[in-house]
Amino acid sequence: MKKGVMLVLSALVLVSFITLVSAVTCKPTVSLVNQDPYPAIPGEYAKVVFQIDGLENPDCGKIQFGIKQDFPFSLDPNTTNEITLNSGTYQRQYGSFYTAPYRIRISEDALNGDNLIETYYSMYPYTSEVLNSFNISIKDTRAKFEVYVKTTTH
């Protein structure tokens, strides 16, 4: 009986250790690789592309990735936000990363300058989210003018 209990406890410790080592060795990194247009225009759309590196390690399992929809950024309704990635996919002589493109809507009320957009990811079994922040440059470049007609001729 004692051997059975010790065997079960040893197995639990080993599984916990493997899970901990997997979590330590699996550290995906996210970077913003493109923003179009630059700067983004309030009331318009911008295309942004994120790159998720570090997916070659099969210990990462499944990774859930998405963007936070906070002011001044949003996605259109019925647009897929979360992407599920399978780690361990690696081709020799090719990069072991995933590119995640998004078409985001910039609020009409967005302020000029750098505005933070947050991405998140979690690993299966879905643990707490890891947040990353990136600057999206916004500037209202639309011309503002008034037309005044003094007289007209026929």
**pLDDT tens figures, 24-77:** 578 899 999 999 999 999 999 999 999 999 888 888 889 999 999 999 999 999
Question: Is residue 132 in some structural domain?
Answer: yes
Question: Is residue 123 in some structural domain?
Answer: yes
Q: Which of 83, 77, 94 is nearest to 49 (CA)?
A: 83
For the entire predicted model, the pTM comes to: 0.75
Question: Is residue 16 in some structural domain?
Answer: no
Give how many domains the chain has, as a whole number: 1
CA angle 110, 79, 40 (to 5 degrees): 30
Question: Is residue 89 in some structural domain?
Answer: yes
How many CB atoms are closer than 10 A to CB 75?
A: 15
Number of H helices, E strands in the chain: 1, 8
State how far the alpha carbon of 101 is from the alpha carbons of 29, 32, 67, 70, 133, in Å.
16, 10, 11, 18, 16
Distance CA 28, CA 52 (A): 6
Question: Is residue 48 in some structural domain?
Answer: yes
Question: Is residue 103 in some structural domain?
Answer: yes
12, pLDDT greater than 90: no
Range of the domain at 50: 28-138
